[in-house]
């Protein structure tokens, strides 16, 4: 056994979730963070991991059981609960690949900037979890370290390119000039919107339909809040599962609790990463902070747009409907429901706020996401088990990043257990990408025309 | 001075609002302002308005909640942070 393998072995035995805290303490110290603050950051991340494991366990045992009973009664197949990005990101951070992923993702960015392969400067350290997830999934499935590392780099390189691609839309529709969103979900799903838009433009009559709704959030009131969504879904699924009303209500309260507590817990991980990410941000923006570059940020900056908000709300019931009618679907959308806007935010810009088109492309995006999420269930389950988020014989799924075409294509390239799926999804995605390049160029030219 | 309540909101109440919340806390500490941060999702703002002195979001919101509002995007991008800090202080020092 060589030294690297030995090191890997020690780290594996140490337990995945204690590794990132140690790495963060070490990296923070290297970047000049004070020791006390660095140690606090590391412990904060550890606290986040412990908390999220408790929540995921509860979510799966309570909601998972009820969903299985409901499916049985109605001949549905929705047995696997979607953990959402709040469940998936801690898994990525807890995999020991995360220790390599943060410096690697930054390195890939700097190399690509140096070689003028991208103009996107990613200062959003948090969302490196998406890249890590792809790598961690590939590593868990294949057991080969180099494939995991390659996965992180592959995902990073593509997402920076997508950052370039979407910058004209972020600067155009969202009027955030000089910014972009190199994000594992928002950027990855938007090519579907470009293809949809291109097709709609070809159909007389349909292409003239245009409407938008501004005040849906005000009308929806508390219904739009995650705590209420959790309560309603929990109670409804409990009742549909044939539970007694008081038991169903109890499930509703538990799911409200999940919705409220999850961000609180995941926030610990974010807080722990903060001193490090602030340092990295300073260094990167000092070096690349002028007009030639796009600053890569979290898609949160897009979510205030009223059409994005409206679409995000409409897609809660639509996604549930798709989950029910999609043949063979086993995934019950839950964890990502409150933040479906991440999947469709850039689509809104591609369609210039035309809600009719967003509804169509968003439905396609969520269909594709669910379709892929189903295929990655065994992989995500294996990853969840290896990071301690899941015990026993439960199954796990995550629409955010478990449903990503790039993540799926990369892992499947090495796994090759569903060649037809690989070919179909790659084929569709490549066509989407080709149309997206065309769209991005047109949008960029439009933006430059307006400036003149 | 009374304790000030500031809402720091973003899409998921995790990533960018944490950055904004931390900056606001540091800023207030430096300026001797007693502050309480309420870190939530944008969709939850309406239910948390009571007693709020200032709303900061990391994305642009068009809706008017009838409470002073400062856009906190600069905290995320690092561009124009000082101007944003000045705006926040102006509201909180009243």
Q: What ipTM did this prediction achieve?
A: 0.73
> At which residue do the structure tokens 């910014």 appear?
A179
CB A216 within 8 A of CB A314: yes
pLDDT of residue A187: 93
Among this protein's residues, is B10 annotated catalytic?
yes
Could you give the CA distance from residue A442 to residue A198 in angstroms, rounded to a whole number?
12
Q: Which residues of chain B neighbour A218 with C-beta distances below 8 Å?
A: 63
**B contact test, residue of A273, A293, A301, A310 with most B CBs within 10 A:** A301
Instruction: Work out the angle at residue B71's Cα, subtended by the Cα atoms of residues B66 and B76, and round it to the nearest 5 degrees.
Output: 150
The answer to whether A85 and A398 are in contact (CB under 8 A) is yes
- A176: chain B residues, CB-CB within 8 Å: 73
Model pLDDT, residue A11: 59
Q: What is the pLDDT of residue A451?
A: 61
In whole angstroms, give the CA distance from residue A427 to residue A406.
12
Helix (H) or strand (E) holding A180: strand A179-180
Residue of B nearest to A220 (CA): B43
Of the residues B7, B10, B13, B37, only one is catalytic, namely B10
| Residue written as token pair 């709020």 | B52
Buried b (16+ CB within 10 A) or exposed e, A178-198: bbbbbbbbbbbbbbbbbbbbb
Q: Which of A109, A110, A93, A96 is nearest to A155 (CA)?
A: A109
Question: Chains A and B: how many Cβ contacts under 8 Å?
Answer: 107
**pLDDT recorded at residue A383:** 93
pLDDT of residue A424: 94
> Helix count (H) and strand count (E) of chain B?
3, 4
CA geometry: angle A153, A49, A379, nearest 5 deg: 50
- Put simply, whether A224 touches B (Cβ < 8 Å) is yes
- What is the spatial distance between Cα A111 and Cα A157, in angstroms, rounded to a whole number? 10
Tell me the two tokens of residue B31: 């300026």
> Could you count the other beta carbons within 10 Å of the beta carbon of residue A227?
18
**What is the rounded average pLDDT of the residues B11-17?**
82
Q: Does A329 touch chain B (CB under 8 A)?
A: no
Query: So what's the pLDDT on residue A188?
Result: 93
Structure tokens at A312: 């995000």
CA distance A97 to chain B (A): 21
* Residue A302, pLDDT score: 86
Phi, psi of B55 (to 5 degrees): -115, 130
- At residue A98, the pLDDT reads 84
pLDDT of residue A115: 92
Look at residue A16 in the predicted model and tell me its pLDDT: 54
Q: Which of residues 16-45 of A touch B (CB under 8 A)?
A: none
State the first-to-last Cα distance of chain B, in angstroms, to the nearest integer: 10
pLDDT of residue A270: 83
Interfacial residues of B (vs A; Cβ cutoff 8 Å) = 10-19, 22, 39, 41-44, 46-47, 57-63, 73, 76-79
Look at residue B61 in the predicted model and tell me its pLDDT: 83
pLDDT of residue A275: 85
Give the closest of A224, A266, A298 to B43, CB-based: A224
What residue has token string 């890590």?
A: A132
How many helices (H) does chain A have, and how many strands (E)? 19, 5
C-alpha Rg value of chain B to the nearest Å: 12
Q: At what angle do helices A355-375 and A405-415 cross, to 10 degrees?
A: 30
What string of pLDDT tens digits covers the 452 residues of chain A? 566 667 666 655 665 567 778 878 888 888 788 899 889 988 988 888 888 888 888 888 888 888 888 888 888 888 899 999 888 998 998 887 888 898 899 999 999 999 999 999 998 888 999 999 999 999 999 999 999 999 999 999 999 999 999 999 998 898 888 889 999 899 999 999 999 999 999 999 999 998 877 667 777 778 878 889 889 989 999 999 999 999 999 999 999 998 888 888 888 888 888 888 888 788 887 777 666 788 888 888 888 788 888 888 889 899 999 999 999 999 999 989 888 889 999 999 999 999 999 999 999 999 999 999 999 999 999 999 988 788 777 899 999 999 999 999 999 999 988 899 999 999 999 999 999 999 999 999 988 877 65
Q: Are A226 and B17 in contact (CB < 8 Å)?
A: no
CB–CB of A263 and B76 under 8 A? Answer: no
Q: Which residues make Cβ contacts (< 8 Å) with residue A96, sequence separation at least 6?
A: A11, A12, A16, A19, A20
Contacts of B17 in chain A (CB under 8 A): 300
A300 and B11 within 8 Å at the Cβ level: the answer is yes
Q: Flag whether residue A267 sits within 8 Å of chain B, measured between CB atoms.
A: yes
CA A243 to chain B, closest CA, distance in angstroms equals 30
Q: Which residues are B37's β-sheet partners?
A: B6
Consecutive H or E run containing B6:
strand B4-10
* Closest residue, chain A, to B21 (C-alpha): A271
Reduced to 3 states (helix: H, G, I; strand: E, B; else coil), residue A328 is coil
Give contacts of B63 with chain A, Cβ < 8 Å.
217-218, 306
Mean pLDDT of B50-64: 89
> In angstroms, rounded to a whole number, what is the distance separating the alpha carbons of residues A274 and A38?
10
Q: What is the pLDDT of residue A75?
A: 82
Q: What is the pLDDT of residue B20?
A: 92
Strand partners, B5: B36
- For A:99-158, CB contacts with B below 8 A are 123-124, 126-127
Query: In which residue are the tokens 């929705």 written?
Result: A78
What integer pLDDT is reported at residue A300 of this predicted model? 81
């Amino acid at each position: 056994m060589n030294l690297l393998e030995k090191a890997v072995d020690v780290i594996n035995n140490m337990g995945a979730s204690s590794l990132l805290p140690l790495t963060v303490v070490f990296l923070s110290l290297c970047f000049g963070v004070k020791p006390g603050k660095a140690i606090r950051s590391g412990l904060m991340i550890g606290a986040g991991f412990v908390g999220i494991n408790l929540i995921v366990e509860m979510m799966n045992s309570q909601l998972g059981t009820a969903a299985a009973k409901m499916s049985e009664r109605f001949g549905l197949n929705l047995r696997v609960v979607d953990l959402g990005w709040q469940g998936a990101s801690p898994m990525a951070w807890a995999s020991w690949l995360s220790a390599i992923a943060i410096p690697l993702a930054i390195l890939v960015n700097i190399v690509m900037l140096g070689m003028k392969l991208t103009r996107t400067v990613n200062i959003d350290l948090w969302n490196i979890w998406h890249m890590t997830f792809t790598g961690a999934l590939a590593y868990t499935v294949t057991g080969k370290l180099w494939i995991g590392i390659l996965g992180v780099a592959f995902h990073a390189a593509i997402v920076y390119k997508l950052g370039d691609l979407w910058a004209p839309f972020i600067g155009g529709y969202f009027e955030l000039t000089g910014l972009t969103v190199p994000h594992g979900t928002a950027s990855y799903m938007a090519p579907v919107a470009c293809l949809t838009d291109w097709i709609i433009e070809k159909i007389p009559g349909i292409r003239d339909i245009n409407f938008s709704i501004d005040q849906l959030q005000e009308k929806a009131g508390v219904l739009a809040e995650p705590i209420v969504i959790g309560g309603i879904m929990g109670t409804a699924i409990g009742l549909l599962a044939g539970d007694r009303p008081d038991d169903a209500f109890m499930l509703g309260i538990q799911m409200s609790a999940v919705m409220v507590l999850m961000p609180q817990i995941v926030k610990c991980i974010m807080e722990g990463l903060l001193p490090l990410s602030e340092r990295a941000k300073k260094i990167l923006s000092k070096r690349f902070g002028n007009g030639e570059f796009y600053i890569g940020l979290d898609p949160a900056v897009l979510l205030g747009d009223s059409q994005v908000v409206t679409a995000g709300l409409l897609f809660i019931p639509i996604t549930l409907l798709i989950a029910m009618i999609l043949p063979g679907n086993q995934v019950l959308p839950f964890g990502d429901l409150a933040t479906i806007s991440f999947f469709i935010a850039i689509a809104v810009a591609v369609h210039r706020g035309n809600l009719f088109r967003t509804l169509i492309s968003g439905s396609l995006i969520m269909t594709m996401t669910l379709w892929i999420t189903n295929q990655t269930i065994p992989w995500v389950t294996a990853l969840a088990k290896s990071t301690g988020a899941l015990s026993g014989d439960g199954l796990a799924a995550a629409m955010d990043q478990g449903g990503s075409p790039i993540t799926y294509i990369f892992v499947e390239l090495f796994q090759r257990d569903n060649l037809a799926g690989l070919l179909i999804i790659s084929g569709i995605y490549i066509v989407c990408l080709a149309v997206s390049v065309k769209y991005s160029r047109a949008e960029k030219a439009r933006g430059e025309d307006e400036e003149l | 001075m009374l304790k000030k309540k500031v809402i720091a909101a973003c899409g998921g109440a995790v990533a960018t609002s944490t950055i904004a919340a931390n900056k606001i806390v540091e800023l207030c500490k430096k300026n001797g302002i007693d502050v309480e941060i309420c870190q939530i999702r944008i969709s939850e703002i309406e239910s948390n308005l009571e007693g709020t002195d200032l709303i900061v979001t990391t994305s642009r919101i068009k809706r008017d909640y009838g409470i002073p509002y400062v856009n906190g995007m600069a905290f995320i991008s690092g561009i124009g942070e000082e101007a944003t800090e000045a705006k926040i202080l102006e509201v909180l020092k009243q």
